[in-house]
């Protein structure tokens, strides 16, 4: 099973360049993808098969081709492509049932949450500088002033 977390926008763009160079049908045939017209990646006025481009982008990123079998549904792939800044058309969801429509129209009380204290450790850039109390210069990582020691 392929994981797509290592696929960047640049990898996707490289796969699209290859798609353009080969042509859509040859690209799909070369990598053994069936057309999936319901999921279209649109970039600079051109359209691409979203699944095939992402599969080839995975190969560019990791050296391993992601096949059509590696995709479990397209929701994750569409989400990843959108997070990388691409426009992807996907089939519209089925209309909600009448019971859900009534329920959705009922006003809800907004939830209030209490802010949580951050549990992450600040990075070196975020930490305040340690200052020498004698000469007021920034202390090095050792914590001992080079001028006053």
Tens digit of each residue's pLDDT (9 = 90 or more) over 76-104: 888 889 999 999 987 765 444 444 444 55
Cβ(132)–Cβ(147) below 8 Å: yes
Q: Is residue 42 helix, strand or coil?
A: strand
User: What is the separation, in whole angstroms, between the first and last Cα of the chain?
Assistant: 59
> Torsion-angle region of residue 36: left (phi > 0), alpha (psi -120 to 50) or beta?
beta
Cα within 13 Å of Cα(135), Cβ side: 9
Separation between Cα atoms, residue 145 and residue 147, nearest integer Å: 5
- Work out the angle at residue 21's Cα, subtended by the Cα atoms of residues 33 and 3, and round it to the nearest 5 degrees: 45
Separation between Cα atoms, residue 60 and residue 9, nearest integer Å: 11
Q: pLDDT: is 88 or 142 the higher one?
A: 88
- Average pLDDT value for residue range 46-54: 91
Joined tokens for residue 131: 């200052």
- Which of 20, 2, 17, 19 has its CA nearest to residue 58? 2
Among 14-18, 30-34, 105-109, name the one with the lowest average pLDDT: 105-109
Q: pLDDT: is 84 or 138 the higher one?
A: 84
Quickly state the pLDDT bin for 17 (edges 50, 70, 90): very high
* Bridge-based pairing state of the strands 46-49 and 87-89: unpaired
Q: What percent of the chain clears pLDDT 90, i.e. is strictly above it?
A: 26
pLDDT at 9: 92
pLDDT at 95: 43
pLDDT at 101: 46
């Amino acid at each position: 099973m392929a994981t797509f977390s290592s696929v960047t926008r640049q990898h996707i763009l490289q796969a699209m360049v290859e798609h353009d160079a080969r042509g859509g049908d040859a690209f799909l045939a070369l990598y053994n993808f069936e057309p999936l017209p319901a999921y279209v990646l649109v970039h600079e006025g051109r359209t691409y098969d979203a699944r095939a481009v992402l599969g080839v982008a995975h190969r560019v990123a990791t050296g391993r081709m992601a096949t059509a079998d590696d995709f479990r549904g397209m929701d994750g792939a569409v989400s990843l492509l959108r997070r990388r800044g691409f426009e992807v058309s996907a089939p519209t969801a089925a209309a909600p049932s009448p019971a859900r429509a009534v329920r959705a129209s009922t006003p809800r009380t907004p939830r209030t949450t209490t802010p949580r204290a951050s549990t992450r450790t600040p990075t070196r850039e975020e930490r305040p500088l340690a200052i020498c109390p004698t000469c007021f210069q920034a202390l090095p990582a050792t914590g001992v002033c080079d001028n006053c020691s």
